[in-house]
Amino acid sequence: AETHHLHWEVSYMFASPDCQEKLVMAINGQFPGPTIHAKAGDTVVVELKNSLPTEGVVIHWHGIKQIGTPWADGTALISQCPIKPDETFVYKFQADKAGTYFYHGHYGMQRAAGLYGLLIVDVKEGEKEKIKYDGEINMLLSDWYHQDIYTQMVGLSSKPFRWIGEPQSLLINGGGQFNCSLATNQGINKCNMENMQCAPMVLQVLPNKTYRLRIISTTSLSSLNLAIGNHKMTIVEADGNYVDPFTVDDMDIYSGESYSALITTDQHVSSNHWISVGVRGRQPKTPPALAILSYLNNNSQYQLELPKATPPITPLWNDYAHSKSFSYKILAAKDTPKPPKRADRLIQLLNTQNKIDGFIKWSLNNVSMVLPPTPYLGSLRYSLKGAFDQKKPRDWFGANYNVMKPPINPNTTTGSNLYEIKFNSTVDIILQNANALAENVSEIHPWHLHGHDFWVLGYGEGLFRKKDVSRFNLKNAPLRNTAVIFPYGWTAIRFVADNPGVWAFHCHIEPHLHMGMGVILAEGIELVKEIPKDAISCGKTAKMLMNNHG
Ligand code: C2O
Ligand code: CU
């Protein structure tokens, strides 16, 4: 196995991803950040220098389990202290499993400022990739706001509440078109096409080949759907796990998810085709993102004109039946490990929107997450007292909650408490969706677990009942690190707590996480090795280090 040694510097720069200039967070002057390519079993070392003038930064490696290196998970105030301006922190971890991953900022809403990039892990040296294909194309999807994240963060925690609204554009590999007509069929072909900087990306392909599209979503808010004119997609991988292949005309992708889809270039040589990415689950006020799949012609040139056909129209934003049917099709490939037969613990998390003194929050079993000033990993490992709320959070929200109606008592409390999970135990979590504060509103939330893959055992409508356990899929439940809950429904996941560390489990929608939509899990802390000092040089752990040397 190899070691990849990277020197990265995070800084602001001016960029115009959708032809409107804005400050973005860049790595080594690039937006999106550089793509990391590794093989399973390789070690990745990133020396990250913070060159932001006045704020801390961290980077999370989304989908990497960090077995034995929980301090490299890159979650500010959970796994490490934010890296101070002008300081350097060394992330060193193993790319444990082949698959499609990404990395992103995990402090405040820095991901939404553009701090992200791809992390592609190929199969081990000498091993054969199970999927057969001739070429690879990466599509990193994001949504883009013209308002800066500081205005957004302050607005979200203001009274009256200021919602961030819908994004101005959708980006593919950091480029998109803004200010286009929403009327998909007319106008859009010409939208901003004259400006090369934000013209649709052209994906060049050879005829009669199979391509592996790696599709990753790091959106701040939007759930997306992707369709390619005249081409079907066969889904073969989800979140770094092979799935039982199935073929679709269009696919949904939620923030925090990644997929591989195979396409066959079986259309005419010298033809080209639109790829559209549209918004799901919220009334779209954002024009679709476009890319062009361009075939090489017989004169060894790529088609330069715009495709003649209109871009494919992604399904209606509120066609939830369509979204569910896509999610339900995702099942494990044959040799995927099966979930343990039963769980040792059941945690039911009620997802509600609430209020504290008129400030709007999201909470789980009536607790809205706030992070303590000392990262949990250090304070737990070194048994420091009073570093966070000691009250145990609840495993259940109680009987008689009507998930179909706004909360009767919308008041919530903030909390920095955590779920202590017995090492090596098997845990079921039921994510229970409910009505938000307004009548007849229940939203999609993509939940992401750090440090583990989990099995998605099933989905259901309305309130989860104990008897639903009998419907769990123990046969071919897919392994994932992100799973969605649909409006007014529940999603059941199972995982084995076999990775010593402190792990975030949260909604991957950036403003929701900022409003408290997450919980913290801790397992096997006594097995965590000596934490690098740079990860704990703040809060109570900094004092501890000073006393040890005093
Ligand atoms: Cu990609 Cu905690 O997130
Ligand atoms: Cu959410």
Whichever domain contains 106, its CATH number is 2.60.40.420
- Quote the number of domains for the chain: 3
**Residue 187 corresponds to which tokens in the numbers above?**
């106008």
Ligand 1 site: residues with CB under 6 angstroms? 60, 62, 104, 106, 256, 448, 450, 504, 506, 508
Let me know whether 180 and 292 are in one domain: yes
Ligand nearest to the CA of 219: 1
The minimum-distance atom of ligand 1 relative to the CA of 482 is: 1
The minimum-distance atom of ligand 1 relative to the CA of 75 is: 2
Strand-pairing partners, residue 456, are 493
Cβ 306 vs Cβ 193: under 8 Å: yes
Let me know whether 86 and 205 are in one domain: no
Amino acid at 286: T
Cβ 525 vs Cβ 376: under 8 Å: no
Question: In the listed set 302, 329, 356, which residue is the last one of a domain according to the structure?
Answer: 329
Ligand nearest to the CA of 59: 1
- Sign of the dihedral defined by the CA atoms of residues 205, 207, 209, 211, in that order: positive
**What local confidence, expressed as pLDDT, does residue 183 receive?**
43
Let me know whether 78 and 154 are in one domain: no
Residue 156 in any domain: the answer is: yes
Residue 319 in any domain: the answer is: yes
Residue 98 in any domain: the answer is: yes
Let me know whether 390 and 467 are in one domain: yes
pLDDT, tens digit, 9 for 90 and up, residues 485-540: 999 999 999 999 999 999 999 999 999 999 999 999 999 999 999 999 999 999 99
Output the CA 221–ligand 2 centroid distance in Å. Answer: 8
**What local confidence, expressed as pLDDT, does residue 193 receive?**
60
The minimum-distance atom of ligand 1 relative to the CA of 504 is: 2
Output the CA 182–ligand 1 centroid distance in Å. Answer: 30
Among the residues of 345-391, which ranges form H helices?
376-381
**Strand spans (E) along 123-205:** 135-144, 169-172, 201-205
Amino acid at 182: L
- Rounded to a whole number of angstroms, the distance between the first and last alpha carbons of the chain is 41
The minimum-distance atom of ligand 1 relative to the CA of 450 is: 2
Q: CA 351 to CA 432: how far, in whole Å? A: 6
Output the CA 101–ligand 1 centroid distance in Å. Answer: 11
Residue 147 has pLDDT above 80, yes or no: yes
pLDDT, tens digit, 9 for 90 and up, residues 196-229: 667 788 899 999 999 999 999 999 999 999 999 9
Cβ 144 vs Cβ 1: under 8 Å: no
Residue 399 in any domain: the answer is: yes
Q: CA 75 to CA 342: how far, in whole Å? A: 31
Residue 51 in any domain: the answer is: yes
Cβ 62 vs Cβ 448: under 8 Å: yes
Q: Which residues contact 110 (CB under 8 A, 6 or more apart)?
A: 25, 57, 104, 149
Residue 12 in any domain: the answer is: yes
Output the CA 450–ligand 1 centroid distance in Å. Answer: 7
Let me know whether 430 and 519 are in one domain: yes
**What local confidence, expressed as pLDDT, does residue 550 receive?**
52
**What local confidence, expressed as pLDDT, does residue 37 receive?**
98
The minimum-distance atom of ligand 1 relative to the CA of 218 is: 1
Q: Count of residues for the chain? A: 550
Q: Which DSSP category does 17 fall into?
A: T
Model confidence band, residue 298 (pLDDT cutoffs 50, 70, 90): confident
Cβ 349 vs Cβ 432: under 8 Å: yes
The ipTM (two decimal places) reads: 0.98
- Number of Cβ within 10 Å of residue 182's Cβ equals 11
% of residues, the chain, pLDDT over 90: 88
Let me know whether 144 and 257 are in one domain: yes
Let me know whether 81 and 162 are in one domain: no
Q: Which residues contact 520 (CB under 8 A, 6 or more apart)?
A: 78, 369, 376, 416, 417, 418, 419, 502, 503, 504, 505
**What local confidence, expressed as pLDDT, does residue 186 receive?**
40
Let me know whether 166 and 295 are in one domain: yes
Pick from 276, 271, 246: which is nearest to 261 by CA?
Answer: 246
Ion ligand 2 — residues with CB < 5 Å: 445, 507, 509, 512
Let me know whether 43 and 85 are in one domain: yes
Output the CA 322–ligand 2 centroid distance in Å. Answer: 20
**Strand spans (E) along 325-450:** 345-356, 359-364, 367-369, 413-415, 419-421, 426-432, 445-449
Burial class (CB in 10 A: 0-12, 13-18, 19+), 392: exposed
Let me know whether 252 and 162 are in one domain: yes
Q: Which residue range(s) make up the domain with 442? A: 345-542
Ligand nearest to the CA of 514: 2
Rounded average pLDDT over 309-335: 94
**What local confidence, expressed as pLDDT, does residue 180 receive?**
65
Output the CA 131–ligand 1 centroid distance in Å. Answer: 27
Output the CA 250–ligand 1 centroid distance in Å. Answer: 25
Q: CA 476 to CA 490: how far, in whole Å? A: 19
**What local confidence, expressed as pLDDT, does residue 197 receive?**
67
Strand-pairing partners, residue 421, are 523
**What local confidence, expressed as pLDDT, does residue 438 receive?**
96
Ligand nearest to the CA of 78: 1
Residue keyed to tokens 């080594």:
28
Q: Which residues contact 144 (CB under 8 A, 6 or more apart)?
A: 17, 18, 167, 168, 169, 170, 171, 176, 178
Residue 550 in any domain: the answer is: no
Model confidence band, residue 191 (pLDDT cutoffs 50, 70, 90): low
Residue 188 has pLDDT above 70, yes or no: no
Let me know whether 498 and 447 are in one domain: yes
pLDDT, tens digit, 9 for 90 and up, residues 370-428: 999 999 999 999 999 999 999 999 999 998 899 999 999 999 999 999 999 999 999 99
Residue 339 in any domain: the answer is: no
